[in-house]
Structure 1
Amino acid sequence: MASSSTGTITSTGLASGLPIDSLVSKLMAVEQQPITTLQTKEASYKTQLSALGTLKGALSSLQTAAQAINTASKLAAFTAKVADTTVASASASGSAAAGSYSLEVTQLAQAQKIKTGSYASLTSAVGSGTLSIQTGSVGQNGFEATKTVNITLSSPKNTVQDLRDAINSSGAGVTATLVNDGGDTPYRLVLTAKDTGTANAFKLSGVDGLDYDPSNIAGSSLTQIQGSKDAKFKLDGIDFVKSSNTVTDAVDGLTLNLSKTNEGSPTTLTLARDASAMSDKISAFVQAYNQAIQVMRSQTSYNADTKTAGTLNGDSTVRSITQQLRSAMSSTVTVNGSAAYLSDIGITTAVDGTLSIDSTKLTAALTDSKKDVASMFGKVGDNNGFAARIDNLITSMTADDGMLTARTNGINSTIKTLDARIESMTNRLTSIEARYRAQFNALDSTLSSLNSTSSYLTQQLATLQTNYTGQSS
């Protein structure tokens, strides 16, 4: 309170505009500062967590590229070529071996195919009864069944198209097709085994006019279009008999697709190492490795000019991961009892830790039969090549007890602790603000009371002054 020259008493109380909200807001801003500090720290940890997530993604991509060549058979690639492409085509996997073969195809595999008699319309009846469809092969004692499926035919569901539909839905291993030859009785059913080879023949019985026995064709009602046959061919004079024209088990890693016979005129089948495909796989691995190294360099960098540091600058876990990866790629591997370096095949390490490829030197190494490049990257026996090492390292780092997992879990734990502290302090702010408002409200009440007293005293002083002036006059 203050006294003016006229004797009035003034107050800065609420009634005179005391800014309680503004005062409380400023006080709460001060109280909020410790929480803001914790929130800033938490944001920093979340940024680190995000950076570790980026690193984990780069390592995952590197591991995928490493796993694509972590065995000799995965990295190895071969081309397979048949000189006479009308006779066969071929492809090879990494388990193949370079070589040349003489190929002579004497017989192609084919599926058994038969036809029924003719029918005037699609609704013509084919007979009634239980049609038995047996699949199997023709042996010394006649047809030897391995599977039997029965189809019941009875009026009115015994038309030629009903029979077609029943066979196709039966799972008997036979397909039925209706053909129209344009004659007076144009419709026939053609029945074909789903698979080629003599082991996939079929026999029909049980309904008059629909019987067929591949071991007694002459005594059958249905007509054979073609019998079941196995593929027969020779590789370097060795005889092979296969049920299909697609052969995957004649030579390790080789797939043959036979398409024409060439009996008496052998053609040449050549398997050769595919240097281009192998180079592409190695390049993908090197690219993924460089990406991981660059991510870690960026995250741990420090710019002295701008005095800015990467998110994970000084992080011992990231530093250790970098060192382990570089060590795995810079040391030797054992190939056929001898030490080998990446530089032997044209891959060198730059100052920043990334790898570069001399494509000419790499191609030369891949086409050199004396250099076992596949074993340099994959696992052979107890020896881990470069890709196998990287695969194992990343598996260890990202395991439940791995260093990257431990670092991530540690940060998550810290963030959880900070969240709890922030929540606790935020709850306290509510009671602190309530206390400040209660105090200011009490002050407001006191000032309001003083303001009333001030008004009363001012009035009394004015009355006294008036009375004194009147008496003086």
Structure 2
Amino acid sequence: MAITSAGVGSGLDIESLITKLVTADRTAPQTRITTRKSELSSELSAVGTVKSLLSSVQSKLSALVDDGALSSVKASSSDETLFTASAASGTASGSYDVEVVALAKASKKISSAISGGADAVLGAGDVNISVGSKSFKVTLGSTDNTLANLRDAINAATDNTGVTASLITESGGTHLLLTANETGAASEITVSSSLMSFTSKQPGSDAHLKVEGYDVYSASNTVTDAVEGVTLNLLAAKEGTTNSLSVATDSSSIQTALNSFIGVYNTTMSTLRSMVSYDATTKTAGALNGDSLVRGAIQQLRSIIGGTVSGAGSFSNLADIGITADASGKLSLSSSDFTSALTKDAASVQKLFNVSGGYGKQLDSMLDTLVGTDGSMVSRVDSLNSQLKTLANEQDSLDARMTAAEARYRKQYTALDTMLAKMNTTSSFLTQQLTAIANLNNSSGSSSSG
């Protein structure tokens, strides 16, 4: 506020009057805006919490159903020094005989020994290198033509077709070793050059294994097409020795994911109930006491979880696979009962969640209506933010009106101050004149008496 001299002329406390008038004008609308903003902010925070919790339930559910954790299988090898294995979700259970006959190897070509080490000068010339059917050429000029320069040029070539050059020094000199970046017979290296001669150090070869006695060949030691859904990582060859590969439902991973979902579900339900509750004893209401949308969500979740599913095979409800609810609706999982259900019919456990009308489908659909892109909770958040934006505009408008009102009051009271100052000046002048006249009359009277 600018420093003013209002009231100086009249002696009135005009600044105080202006402040009180502006405050009186602001109080009612400001109280309404402040109160409503507080209400909307509290509701927005509570609704945001609900949305976040329900989204977490949906996220945990998504990780569980369809091709998620419920379809987890574990592949294992009877001798992990020879090969390890992993399986994709949904891979059929089974047991297979596996023999690792030979590992895939990368082609290697090595040059003749060069005296002088890495700094040995080779002279100008070309080195033509092919990897399989693809080739490239490296040319050394009259300078920068040492053995190290050649190694670096090969590795840095933009058209390098898949070979790495390195230097090996032994008592007879230094060799340039070329190694194919990929294993397999199809990546065999051929090289020709007038600068040096090369011999084969190791021919490129495919991996060879037998699955159930059938020959399988692979350019890589990571074999993905021998058993559907299974990846075999070959580590060592032991021809004539058969080991077993087993693929089975991964009960541990499934239970971990299921318990994770149950934990988030229980936390969500407990929090939602608290938000819509009212404690008559303490007369304390939850942040969303009586909110129909949240109460409806609680009822729908409990209804789905407590319902039955048809077309799932051996099981029709969660209790059949060891998932039960207490009086408050809190879920718990019996590890032994769940393991028993998986052993009995793992496919039906999956169907209980994944079939049309299964728990997973019902819950996901219901949650999507709440927290999906066009969900009710999303719309609710958008509406609350819109109302807060409107209040912010109202606050700006009120501030502008109060600034104008203050200016108006100041103008009015400044004019009053000026008028009163003039009147005070006139009054003082008249008083002085009347006093002077009275004094003159008194003086004249005294002279006459004398």
* TM-score normalised over the length of structure 1: 0.82
- The alpha-carbon distance between structure 1 residues 344 and 406, as it changes in their structure 2 partners (threshold 3 A), is same
Matches of 2:85 and 2:361 in 1, distance apart? 30
Instruction: State whether residues 127 and 195 of structure 2, in contact with CA within 8 Å, keep that contact through their aligned partners in structure 1.
Output: no
The CA deviation string for residues 28-48 of structure 1, in whole angstroms up to 9 with x for no partner, is 222112122112202221222
Of residues 311-320 and 93-102 in structure 1, the stretch that sits farther from structure 2 once superposed is 311-320
Change (3 A) 1:248 1:442: same
Q: Do the aligned residues in 2 keep the contact of 1:62 with 1:285 (CA within 8 Å)?
A: yes
The 8 Å contact of residues 81 and 89 in structure 1, kept in 2 or not, is answered as yes
CA distance in 2, matches of 1:128, 1:14: 101
Letter of the 1:411 partner, please give it. L
Shift in CA distance, 461/352, structure 1 to aligned 2, threshold 3 Å: farther
State the AA in 2 paired with 1:112.
S
Deviation at 1:27, TM superposition (A): 2.2
Residue 179 of structure 2 aligns to a residue whose secondary structure is strand
Report if the CA contact (8 A) 1:35-1:426 is conserved.
Answer: no
Deviations 1:206-244 (A, max 9, x none): x2365xxxxxxxxxx522222111111111122211111
Secondary structure class of the residue paired with 1:264: coil
8 A contact 1:113–1:193 mirrored in 2 = yes
- d(CA) in 2 for partners of 1:328 and 1:419? 42
Task: Measure the CA separation in 2 of the matches of 1:18 and 1:266.
Answer: 109
Aligned pair partner of 2:88 in 72, 76, 93: 93
Pick which of 412-421 and 234-243 moved more.
Answer: 412-421
* 2:397 equivalent among 402, 424, 437: 424
Distance 1:273 1:401 in 2: 37
Contact 2:251–2:339 (8 Å) recurs in 1: yes
Aligned partner letter, 2:83: A
Alignment partner, residue 134 of structure 1: 130
Q: What is the DSSP-based 3-state SS (H/G/I as helix, E as strand, rest coil) of the residue aligned with 2:136?
A: strand
- Deviations 1:319-367 (CA, angstroms, capped at 9, x unpaired): 3333333333332234544662122222223444442223332333334
**What letter matches 1:346 in structure 2?**
G
Tell me if the contact between 1:67 and 1:388 (Cα under 8 Å) persists in the aligned partners: no
Please say if residues 275 and 367 of structure 1, whose CA atoms lie closer than 8 Å, have aligned partners that are also in contact: no
2:14 is aligned with 1:27? no
The aligned counterpart of 1:345 is 321
Distance 1:339 1:30 in 2: 71
Distance in 2, matches of 1:115 and 1:414, equals 76
In the TM superposition, residue 265 of structure 1 has moved relative to its aligned partner by: 2.4
Displacement after TM superposition at 1:119 (Å): 0.5
Q: Which residue of 2 aligns with 1:51?
A: 46
The answer as to 2:198 corresponding to 1:198 is: no
Tell me which amino acid in the other structure corresponds to 1:189. Answer: L
Q: In structure 1, what is the equivalent of residue 112 of structure 2?
A: 117
User: Is the CA contact (8 Å cut-off) linking 2:266 and 2:331 kept in structure 1?
Assistant: yes
Question: Cα–Cα, structure 1 residues 285 and 222, in superposed 2: closer, same or farther, change >3 Å?
Answer: same
SS in 2 for 1:368: helix
Write out aligned runs for 1:169-180 (5 A): 169-170=156-157, 171-180=160-169
The alignment partner of 2:215 has SS state of: strand
Paired amino acid for 1:176:
A
Aligned residues: 434
The alignment yields a C-alpha RMSD, in angstroms, of 3.0
- 8 Å contact kept, 1:345–1:362: yes
Q: Give the match's secondary structure for 1:134.
A: strand
**Cα distance in structure 2, aligned partners of 1:448 and 1:168:** 97
Q: Match for 1:272 among 235, 248, 265? A: 248
Q: Deviations over 1:168-187 (max 9, x none)?
A: 2232211111011123xx20
- Kindly provide the CA deviation profile for residues 127-169 of structure 1, in whole angstroms up to 9, marking residues without a partner as x: 6433222222xxxxxxxx2x12122233323322222112222
SS at match of 2:407: helix
The verdict on how the C-alpha distance between 1:20 and 1:363 changes in structure 2, with shifts beyond 3 A counting, is: farther
Aligned counterparts of 1:365 and 1:264: Cα–Cα separation in 2 = 39
Distance 1:229 1:162 in 2: 30
SS for the counterpart of 1:68 is helix
Distance 1:386 1:463 in 2: 109
**Matched ranges for 1:313-392 at <5 A:** 313-337=289-313, 340-369=316-345, 372-377=348-353, 379-380=354-355, 383=356, 385-392=358-365
CA distance in 1 between counterparts of 2:315 and 2:102 reads: 50
Q: Give 2:57's aligned residue.
A: 62
1:300 corresponds to: 276
Q: Which secondary structure state, in structure 2, belongs to the residue aligned with residue 407 of structure 1?
A: helix
- Structure 1 stretch 15-24 or stretch 85-94: which is displaced more? 15-24
Q: Secondary structure at the match of 1:80?
A: strand
Q: 1:365 to 1:453 in 2, by over 3 A?
A: same
Give the distance between the partners of 1:127 and 1:464, measured in 2 at CA: 132
Counterpart amino acid of 2:162? G
Deviation at 1:452, TM superposition (A): 4.7
Task: Report the Cα distance in structure 2 between the residues aligned to 1:280 and 1:315, rounded to whole angstroms.
Answer: 34
For residues 456 and 351 of structure 1, do their structure 2 counterparts lie closer, same or farther at Cα, with a shift above 3 Å needed?
A: farther
- Partners of 1:357 and 1:86 lie apart in 2 by 37
Matched, 1:401 2:382: no
Aligned to 2:407: 434
Contact 2:126 2:194 in 1 (8 A): no
- What residue is the counterpart of 2:70 in the other structure? 75
Amino acid at match of 2:254: M
**Structure 1 pair 240–299 and aligned structure 2 pair: CA distance change class (3 A):** same
Q: Distance in 2 between matches of 1:95 and 1:201?
A: 37
Q: Give the match's secondary structure for 1:85.
A: coil
TM-score under structure 2 length normalisation: 0.86
Q: Distance in 2 between matches of 1:294 and 1:458?
A: 85
Farther-moved stretch of structure 1 (117-126 vs 293-302): 293-302
Q: CA deviation at 1:282?
A: 0.7
Q: Which residue does 2:37 correspond to in 1?
A: 42
With over 3 angstroms needed to count, the CA separation of the structure-2 counterparts of 1:72 and 1:375, relative to structure 1, is farther
Contact 1:71 1:388 in 2 (8 A): no
- Partner SS state of residue 228, structure 1: coil
Change (3 A) 1:172 1:14: closer
Counterpart of 1:241 in structure 2 is 217
- 1:112 is paired with a residue whose SS is strand
The structure 2 residue matched to 1:18, chosen from 12, 17, 29, is: 12
In 1: Cα distance, 2:241 partner to 2:336 partner: 40
- Could you list the runs of 5+ residues in structure 1 that have no partner in the other structure? 1-12, 137-144, 211-220
Aligned counterparts of 1:132 and 1:284: Cα–Cα separation in 2:
59
**Structure 2 unaligned runs (5+)?**
1-6
Matching residue of 1:218: none
